[in-house]
Amino acid sequence: MSSPPPYAIVVLSAYDPAVRDGAARVAQKLFKRNQVTVHPIPLESPGLHQTLSRLAGGTLYLVGHGDDFQIGDQQPPNLALKLEEEGLPETVARIHVLTCMSGVTPPQLQEAPALRLRLNLVALYRKDTGIRVTGLTGKSVDFGGSFRAIPNHPVVNWLDRVRDADGDLEILGGLLDEGNELDAANAGSEAFQKLVEGNPDLQQQDEEEQQIYSAIQMFVPHLLDKNARPDFWMMLYMLVQQMGDAMEDEELLDGEKWDSILSSLDTLEPLILQGLALSRQASKVHFS
């Protein structure tokens, strides 16, 4: 009986608990699908060489943050050199790059990060051994789950800019106005009103702020349901309202206002992305 092909999971952003959890989910899937136990290993681990050198004919998963330029916090040429120096064999069969936008070609470059990784490995090995590298065409909702968010969607770009504001209340004020303008048809407000009208527990609450808070608690369990598709316009509406309430709260200091906005963003952004998501297969691009 032949042995199953080897697998390895390398964590590129090991400092981030969400990434570590995502790597653990990948390991769980491999065990459920193939009955193999794989322990995720950080890119900086001294045991990396031993792990990678065993991957002849196998599959490597790279899990971390990223964008259409970088894989984790690494430029693809540097990551390729690191993997090759740590013993990744030229006969590795597949590399799955589970980082945001790894399959997207930015306007300034000719290749997506996942393709750049492949091309640099081929250059290091000095021959094309047929390595198949897979990248993602969107933002990962949970680092290895079933959905990937649609790339370059105006709402996704707006969410990124809110985080980039880093507590600057003047910038956040402008973004608050933009958040309302994104939903020019008021689809989010209408969806929220229908939710309230159809839910007696929400109807009993007089203030919209309390209704929104209770609605968020209702929707949070959807984060565990990979088949759930929350109404992203409604989630955006709820986020904008919570941002506005925090900005207008005169009892909060500026830093506390940002902390409140960040808390709402951490809770609602995953639901917005899940509502915008592509299926896992539709979000992949293969380079070979």
DSSP code per residue over 153-167: -HHHHHHHHHHHHTT
- What is the rounded CA–CA span in Å between residue 233 and residue 146? 21
Q: Is the pLDDT of residue 227 over 90?
A: no
Residue 226: the pLDDT is: 67
The three-state secondary structure class of 287 is strand
Q: How high is the pLDDT of residue 9?
A: 95
Beta-sheet pairing, 94-98 with 132-136: parallel
**Could you tell me the CA-to-CA distances from 218 to 16, 189, 199, 236 in Å, in that order?**
27, 17, 11, 15
**pTM here?**
0.69
Tens digit of each residue's pLDDT (9 = 90 or more) over 48-70: 999 999 999 999 999 998 888 99
Over 50: is that where the pLDDT of 1 sits? Answer: no
Strand-pair partners of 7: 59
- Of the candidates 172, 177, 191, the one whose C-alpha atom is nearest the C-alpha of residue 235 is 191
Residue 147 binned pLDDT confidence (cut-offs 50, 70, 90) = low
Choice between 100 and 145, residue whose per-residue pLDDT is larger: 100
For residues 140 and 227, give the distance between their C-alpha atoms in angstroms, rounded to a whole number.
15
Using pLDDT thresholds of 50, 70 and 90, give the confidence band for residue 4: low
Percent pLDDT > 90 in the chain is 63
Q: Is the pLDDT of residue 151 over 90?
A: no
Q: Which helix (H) or strand (E) holds 230?
A: none
pLDDT digits (tens, 9 = 90+) for 169-189: 999 999 999 999 999 999 999
| Average of per-residue pLDDT across 148-154 | 77
| pLDDT level of residue 146 (50, 70, 90 thresholds) | low
Q: What is the pLDDT of residues 68-127, one digit of tens each?
A: 899 998 999 999 999 999 999 999 999 999 998 899 888 877 899 999 999 999 999 998
- What 215-221 contacts at long range (C-beta under 8 Å, 24+ apart), as own/partner pairs, is 216/267, 216/268, 219/271, 220/267, 220/271
Structure tokens given for 4:
């199953």
User: β-strand 59-63 against 94-98: which pairing, if any?
Assistant: parallel
Lowest average pLDDT, out of 31-35, 69-73, 265-269, goes to 31-35
Check if the beta carbon of residue 134 is closer than 8 Å to that of residue 96: yes
Q: Which of 90-94, 103-107, 234-238, 276-280 has the lowest mean pLDDT?
A: 276-280
Taking residue 245's Cβ as centre, other Cβ atoms within 10 Å add up to 18
More confident residue, 14 or 118: 118
Is-contact 41 69, C-beta < 8 A? no
- Phi first, then psi: give them for residue 66, nearest 5 degrees: 165, 180
